[in-house]
A = this chain, B = another copy of it.
Amino acid sequence: MSTVLKPLADRVLVESAPAEEKTASGIIIPDTAKEKPLKGTVVAAGPGKTDEPMTVKVGDSVIYGQYSGTEIKLDGKTYLIMRESDIYGIVEG
């Protein structure tokens, strides 16, 4: 990504994982869920808010709510910009 977006405060730039990758990693989102959680990778993270340091870091695989964030295109690729509080957790393994 030659164009860089530095998120402000507690915002995080996330690249959504394609549907295939989800199955491979063992994460399956049930169709019956009221709000479908999604998986993605942190591409950039803000410095956090005053007295609230950030937990996620670039490269983290994260799960977030279906309606979280705002879509944005950088160099032709779509990302999501959201607040860290919209992220449920970090996936490992």
Of the four ranges (under 10, 10 to 19, 20 to 34, 35 or more), the interface on chain A belongs to: 35 or more
Q: Determine whether the beta carbon of A3 is less than 8 Å from that of B27.
A: yes
Q: Determine whether the beta carbon of A7 is less than 8 Å from that of B88.
A: yes
Partner of A29 from the list B37, B56, B73 (CB cut-off 8 Å) is B73
Contacts known (A26-B76, A29-B72, A76-B28); A4 close to B93, Cβ less than 8 A: yes
Say how far A15's CB is from chain B's closest CB, in angstroms: 14
Q: Bound state CA distance, A2 and B27, in angstroms?
A: 11
The residues of A with any CB-CB pair to B shorter than 8 Å are: 2-9, 11, 13, 25-30, 32-35, 37, 44, 46-47, 50-52, 55-56, 63, 65, 70-76, 78, 81, 84-85, 87-93
